[in-house]
Amino acid sequence: MMKPLRTSPQSGFAVLLVMVVITALSILAGALAIFMKVESQLAQNTNDSEDLYWAGRGGVERACWILAMEPPGVTSLKQKWAGGPGDGPETNGPLINITLKGYPVGHAIVDLSMEEQESKFNINTADTPLLNQVLTTMGADASDISVVSDSIQDWIDPDDATRPAGAESDYYQGLMPSYYAKNAPIDNIEELQLIKGITPEMFKGGGGDPNSPFKHHHLGFGRAPGQAAEYPFGLRDVFTPYSNGKVNLNTADVNVLSCIPNLDTNVAEAIKQLRNSEGGAMAGSGVLHDFNQLREVLPNPALIQQIQRYCTFGGNTYKVTATARIGSNSQEFIAIIMRNGLRTQIVSFHPK
């Protein structure tokens, strides 16, 4: 008769130790695999980062070519740069099959979008009547209008003289943190948030109580104590630091048109309807070419003269957004392009 084998305590401990070691090695191997995968992905991202940069730059160069191929003179949202179907000669020229999406640059794909800066007012040339009209149209409190208008002009002008309701460096030096008034033209619209009187809601638009049943409805002037300001649009929606100084009637939206001094929303809507109705009876392109076309909806000659002071029918400054993609990695780039006939110049280019 065979005797049963007896397992000593030492052998049981050895088996347990082996299992612990195997488990530990498995965990280390898994961690190493994860580490190597992360390192590999980081290396791939680094390689993609440079490729994305040059793809974005290539997309902006393509935007330059598209703008150079557009017909000179009048510009509109019907043109290829705006994603439209084309206007006039471009429908039979090199832009006939051009799209702004899916442009291959190496092994990257680039999508483009362009915004004509003449669709907004130039903040650096805005005078007091224009600033006051913009703030009034926004629904700014009467007590804020002169403060913001004067402070914007004090920020831009080269001297240290303070307008009645404005601010210069002595005011900004008293803030925490302190800074100086720029006393030079604005080159980034975000600067407006540094200026006295401009709140985040005023800059971005919106605000107020999102649960209020009376959004965008104001009774009388001012606000009740503690009531947050609410704006249908923000200063960044109607101003730009880059443009030729006049607003293009073919690309400006109703908010911008409503801010032209002595105009109101009804006039702005009338201009928009004229623009949308194939340019009116005097043109069949859907594009406005001449101030005389406005007589169809604006019989007042004085009003047309006022529009002439602030408006035009073409633009030559463009903000380009190039979105480059390689696999799951993507990066947006922003460029400002100036156009002069067949010549284009990239004024700035940077990641978003």
Q: Please list the residue range(s) of the chain that carry CATH number 3.30.1300.30.
A: 48-120+315-351
Q: Which pTM value belongs to this model?
A: 0.79
Return the CATH number of the domain spanning residue range 48-120+315-351.
3.30.1300.30
One pLDDT digit (tens) per residue for the chain, 352 residues: 555 555 566 666 677 777 887 888 778 777 777 766 665 554 555 568 899 999 999 999 999 999 999 988 899 998 999 998 887 666 677 888 889 999 999 899 999 999 999 999 999 999 999 999 999 999 999 999 999 999 999 999 999 999 999 999 999 999 999 999 999 999 999 999 999 999 999 999 986 544 444 344 443 445 555 556 789 999 999 999 999 889 999 999 999 999 998 888 888 888 888 887 755 544 556 689 889 888 888 878 888 998 999 999 999 999 999 999 999 999 999 999 999 888 999 999 999 8
Query: 277 with 296: CB under 8 angstroms?
Result: no
Per the document, the length of the chain is 352
**pLDDT for residue 43:** 53
Residue 265: per-residue pLDDT: 84
- Is the preceding omega at residue 351 within 30 degrees of 0, hence cis? no
Instruction: Name 50's Cβ contacts closer than 8 Å, sequence gap at least 6.
Output: none
Show the tokens assigned to 340. Answer: 């002069």
- In the numeric block, which tokens belong to residue 323? 């979105």
The span from the CA of 74 to the CA of 219, in Å, is: 42
Long-range contacts of 67-71 (CB under 8 A, 24+ apart): 67/114, 67/318, 67/337, 67/339, 67/344, 68/339, 68/341, 68/342, 68/343, 68/344, 69/93, 69/94, 69/95, 70/95
Distance of CA 19 to the CA centre of its chain: 60
- Which phi and psi (to 5°) does residue 43 adopt? -65, -40
Fold annotation for 125-240: Ribonucleotide Reductase Protein R1; domain 1 (1.10.40)
Whether the CB-CB separation of 318 and 67 falls below 8 Å is answered with yes
Compute and round to an integer the Cα radius of gyration of the chain: 30
Listed in order, the ranges of the chain carrying CATH 1.10.40.60 are 125-240
